[in-house]
Structure 1
Amino acid sequence: MASPTVPAQGAAAHRLPQQKIDRLASHIASGEGSPTATIPTPFTGEPLATLPLTTASDIARAYEKARRVQEEWAALPVRDRVKPFLALPDALVARRSEILDIIQLETGKARRHAMEEFLDVALCSLHYARRAEKLLKPQRRRSTMPGLTRVQELRHPKGVVALISPWNYPFSLGASDIAPALMAGNAVIHKPDTQTCLSSLWVLDLLVSLGLPRDLWQVVIGDPAEIGDPLLDGADYVSFTGSTRGGKAIAERVAPRLVSYSLELGGKNPMIVLDDADVERAARGAVRACFTNAGQLCISIERLYVHEAVYDRFVPRFVELVKEMKLGTGLDFEASMGSLTFQRQLDNVTAHVDQAVKAGATVLAGGRARPDIGPLFYEPTVLTDVTTDMDLCANETFGPVVSVYKFSDVDAVIDRANDTPYGLNASVWTKDTARGRRVAARIQAGTVNVNDGYGAAFISYDAPMGGFKQSGVGRRHGAEGLLKFTEAQTIASQHWMDLEPPGGLGYDRFADMLANSVKVMKKLRIK
């Protein structure tokens, strides 16, 4: 049974006014006579916008501008630096339809998934705007010698941050990381993917209208082979979200300069449905966890482990819900899943499914492309009988495909969940939340959601989010999501006596005094 569709909209609905495109393009760091690139909308393959590209010399000029404006920006009180971001949520709400259209048109995703990006930028920027002053203010630290040594920790901005954001969540994974970097006092040179740069340009234009200095956040677009190295070579810090292969290449490039970085990379994320799970709730949660943004989500579930006690009830219900999903190109909330974004993604998904089926996997739902809807559509797909010799068993598919496995032993399934070089996200379903948390603590992943697929952890902005193993280095969100863009400095002042024997006291007796003081401090719980 094919996934149902919603009526297609006319070609005019999948275009943007040229005046708007020109305004957004004015924020791209590019010179006169720059080469251009035309980006299509994945829904139809028709041209969406023609944009000027950045060259290596443009990168150098961007860094010069950024360093000048960053010094002035960093000198401002934090309460002034957060003002544009405090105003941003209201401005986003007022122009919600405009940005949702842009996100859909450049990515091909369903509007309900574009809405997740909208909410993330609004809420994450507000979270840090409310907390930046407290996180960045000088902190008193305890001294080993109270009263004699006074210790203070300061936070200084890194300088100019190179931030490389991915194509799959361009609005969210650009702006929500750039906001804390700017609040921390940095300037940012931002390289979004060329295909999906319009949403970043849109929010940059909006922030400039809210008072952000124009050259503080600069957008560069182009071929990584041409501008990637100059971008990395000029940075004081690098933030990257993308593939594990890309993250390793970045780490190698910046290592000789000992430039620090944060990397959120790939995943092959597991979901475990325990024997006491609410089957209906888990089945509906699995649809969201596996097929949001057509599976083009680094924290999406691609491996689904179901306990034998509920397998025969869960799998049919899950498959039924998947077959009911509506595919469509509309700029409304009717479609439950949209398009893939690139031909290469469609090719990869097709190759993984076809190879698995040829090797003996069984298709329970989906399993084919849908060019009748749009050039890059692929049905949400559920497979069983997937074995370790198949590519989609262990390799990230990054598309609307999930493989389902039956299990009987919890210890064994935790081992299977952890049997991967990745460790980004995981999901556990049970009616016993305490049990779910115990299982979650044994899974080697940076975030684990109990009775949710990915959203519960991701929108908990006060908690860190990132990957174990080859899924990343560093964290977004939490205090670290802002403080990683700073350098910590300790200033200690000594009072009343120096750190040497007083008067004519010999060093042997002074050493005895120091040794005995350790016992005294322990007894008095000073240390």
Structure 2
Amino acid sequence: MLTAMATQTASPSPLSDAAIAKLTALVTSDGGSTVINAPFTGEPLAVIPTSSAEDVENAYAKARAAQRAWAELSPAERAEPVLRFVDAFLARRDEILDILQWETGKARRHAFEEFLDVSLGSLYYARKAPKLLGAKRRQGAFPLMVKTRELRQPKGVIGMITPWNYPISMGVGDTVPALLAGNAVVHKPDTQTALSVLWCVALMIECGLPKDLWQIVAGDPAEIGDPIIEAADYIAFTGSTRAGRQIAAKAAPRLIGYSLELGGKNPMIVLEDADLKLAARGAVRACFSNAGQLCISIERLLVHEKVFDDFLAAFKAETEAMKLGSALDFDAQMGSLTHQRQLDTVSAHVEQAVAAGATLVAGGKARPDLGPLFYEPTILTDVTTDMDLCAGETFGPVVSVYRFATEDEAVTRANDTSYGLNASVWTRDLARGRRVGARLQAGTVNVNEGYGAAMASHDAPMGGMKQSGVGRRHGAEGMLRYTEAQTVASQQFMELDAPANVPYAKYADLLTGAIKTLKRFHLK
């Protein structure tokens, strides 16, 4: 039983009615609306305008008009409002942290992770955009005769669909490189977490971004999802694997590109030489950040049999010492779930596993005394393949722990999933950790960290293998996905075809000999 739980009552809503009205005015809407509730209390938080298919069409029209002038600017000029945004964002940290906590129910330290991600990611792309997007000299067909350049042209208008669990990490983090690449964006954030995105849009406009360039639509995916895809020049989506497949099927007939970051059943391997105290502390962060509502969080713990008991005891102690709460401060280690459907899924997975023979090590129940959507951080052992918890994504504060005997077994079991988003390896031997990591079928692997080392490395790509996605965010790929590569090659001195006075057979011999010479001197 958890023995060191703590909670505090959340402060009043961080936004006045007037402030909410100013933000929601940025949604393209014909008058529909929906009420969102605060996860901490279950009470109404705000009325969010909703959009129709016609609203989506209008948003695209405004975005296309704004994009033409925006694309004429140099990457350095486009970076100027983003750099000002970073300064303003850093200066107004507490405002956005309050909003994130209220609309998601997450602990402040996990809201702060989003704040860091947006700050560092926006700064990275603003600094790197001129180089990433600048013309590149490429080797021509023949030295001196052909000069070749690679250019990067914007796609046009990006259709962006982002989730509720990390609304500004995904929403702002994916939009900024799209804008810097010369595109406009029509963005559908999840309605539950639209306020934090709208706050960032408003701040970006204050910092000089043309108003119509970043359009916001909101509402039911069943009503506006297809219109977003049908009008887009490219789709960027973060969400479930099921929804990702549907988007890919709808994009295919139009032959437009897409990037999809999808689900995961992420493993953490604790090798026999790991520092167990650090590994146990790291597992708490890896498994229970944002109450487990993180696509790259750990849901499967694989522990070497030699250290299994000691690790499990340390992990149990760390978990039972966690503080849960809803205060707008940094004290709580875990907050609330965001939706009732998540609480239902978590409860069902745990109850089914226990009923089928799994052993409950820690947690295992909802905590309505703390708030309507709180659930204890939960550890189970003896989870078998017939349990939903084993292979299905739970997306909550629940982890199953398994023994393994050899390194090969650990790698095989870690890879035994249709997903491949994130993984973690713990060992005192960093070279060994990197070797094991290279064998794992996951888009990101962290050694002696659960997810943060790779997530915060904005110069490196991040995304999923197998059923966990297509494409990458972060790094050069995270920006270049929003561009079309164009080759411009100019011919000079002589034509590539045979000269009029040279027989073609002779010309073919000359070119063949030239290739041999180029190869010999490593010019080709």
- After superposition, the C-alpha distances for 1:33-92 in whole angstroms (9 at most, x for unaligned) are x12100000001000001211111111111111110100111112211111111122211
Worse overlay, 334-343 or 517-526 = 517-526
SS at match of 2:42: coil
Q: Distance in 2 between matches of 1:14 and 1:110?
A: 15
TM-score, normalization: structure 2? 0.99
CA gap of 1:59–1:151, structure 2 versus 1, over 3 A, is same
Q: Distance in 1 between matches of 2:64 and 2:33?
A: 27
> Which residue of structure 2 aligns with residue 422 of structure 1?
419
Pairwise CA distance, 1:14? 3.9
Alignment of 1:489-504 (within 5 A): 489-504=486-501
SS at match of 2:385: coil
> Which residue of structure 1 aligns with residue 327 of structure 2?
330
Alignment of 1:84-123 (within 5 A): 84-123=81-120
SS at match of 1:466: coil
Kept in 2, the 8 Å contact 1:268–1:395? The answer is yes
> Which residue of structure 2 aligns with residue 227 of structure 1?
224
Identity %: 62
1:265 matched to 2:262? The reply is yes
CA gap of 1:94–1:3, structure 2 versus 1, over 3 A, is farther
> Which residue of structure 2 aligns with residue 139 of structure 1?
136
> Which residue of structure 1 aligns with residue 385 of structure 2?
388
Worse overlay, 98-107 or 77-86 = 77-86
Corresponding letter in the other structure for 1:290: C
> Which residue of structure 1 aligns with residue 9 of structure 2?
9
Pairwise CA distance, 1:2? 2.6
The two structures, once aligned, show a CA RMSD in angstroms of: 1.0
1:303 matched to 2:297? The reply is no
Pairwise CA distance, 1:16? 2.7
Worse overlay, 291-300 or 88-97 = 88-97
Pairwise CA distance, 1:269? 0.4
SS at match of 1:420: coil
Corresponding letter in the other structure for 1:469: K
> Which residue of structure 1 aligns with residue 341 of structure 2?
344
Kept in 1, the 8 Å contact 2:14–2:98? The answer is no
Pairwise CA distance, 1:503? 4.1
SS at match of 2:153: strand
Q: Distance in 2 between matches of 1:98 and 1:262?
A: 31
Pairwise CA distance, 1:361? 0.3
Corresponding letter in the other structure for 1:386: V
1:23 matched to 2:26? The reply is no
Pairwise CA distance, 1:520? 1.5
- After superposition, the C-alpha distances for 1:257-279 in whole angstroms (9 at most, x for unaligned) are 10100000000000000111111
Kept in 2, the 8 Å contact 1:5–1:335? The answer is no
Alignment of 1:364-513 (within 5 A): 364-513=361-510
SS at match of 2:508: helix
SS at match of 2:307: helix
SS at match of 1:188: strand
Q: Distance in 1 between matches of 2:428 and 2:141?
A: 48
- After superposition, the C-alpha distances for 1:413-472 in whole angstroms (9 at most, x for unaligned) are 101111111100000011110011000000001000011100101111111000101100
Pairwise CA distance, 1:26? 1.0
Corresponding letter in the other structure for 2:345: N
Unaligned residue ranges in structure 2 (runs of 5+): none
Q: Distance in 2 between matches of 1:5 and 1:282?
A: 22
> Which residue of structure 1 aligns with residue 34 of structure 2?
37
Q: Distance in 2 between matches of 1:324 and 1:375?
A: 21
SS at match of 1:464: coil
Q: Distance in 2 between matches of 1:502 and 1:98?
A: 71
SS at match of 1:491: strand
Pairwise CA distance, 1:376? 0.6
Q: Distance in 2 between matches of 1:122 and 1:413?
A: 36
CA gap of 1:341–1:156, structure 2 versus 1, over 3 A, is same
Q: Distance in 2 between matches of 1:409 and 1:135?
A: 43
TM-score, normalization: structure 1? 0.98
Q: Distance in 2 between matches of 1:505 and 1:347?
A: 80
> Which residue of structure 2 aligns with residue 244 of structure 1?
241
CA gap of 1:339–1:3, structure 2 versus 1, over 3 A, is farther
Kept in 2, the 8 Å contact 1:3–1:327? The answer is no
Q: Distance in 1 between matches of 2:427 and 2:225?
A: 45
Corresponding letter in the other structure for 2:388: D
